[in-house]
Amino acid sequence: MSLVNCKIINKSNNPLPKYQTEGASAVDLFANLNETIILKAKSRKLIPTGIYISIPIGHEAQVRPRSGWAIKHGITVLNSPGTIDSDYRGEIGVILINHSELDFEITNGDRIAQLVLSAYEKINWQETDCLDETKRGKGGFGSTG
């Protein structure tokens, strides 16, 4: 494990995103709200965080759901994982969706999602007329059992 420096601007009154345990791979993102939001059953909403980050080239940030909210309340990140590219400089927002039959209250400072920093590789496409053979071949959805 190595530490990667990322610049951050925090325009919220919440703490900086932080790891909740020593072994955590993700930091928590907090809702930055002037008033409570009611996320209606079966609806979605963009929740602001008030933070802006500079991600080093060769990395991306992934916004992921919180497992506790998912299992207890049916609340998850709609475009999971949400990708934040290294050249994006706007506010981080989290698209939450309420899959339950009940309305859900979100207040300022609630931990709404997790953020993971991940290194990536760029693709160098090599056009061809055929691909190498594998045992699985063209077997798709559900083909492995």
pLDDT of residue 27 exceeding 80: yes
Q: Decide: 119 and 59 in contact? Cβ < 8 Å.
A: yes
pLDDT > 90: percent of the chain:
90
**0.85 cut: is pTM over it?**
yes
What is the homologous superfamily of the domain 7-119 according to CATH? Answer: Deoxyuridine triphosphatase (dUTPase) (2.70.40.10)
pLDDT in tens, 36-55: 999 999 999 999 999 999 99
pLDDT of residue 145 exceeding 90: no
pLDDT in tens, 64-80: 999 999 999 999 999 99
What is the chain's Cα-based Rg?
A: 19
| pLDDT (0 to 100) of residue 50 | 98
Going across the sheet that includes 93-98, the strands are 44-48, 93-98, 75-77
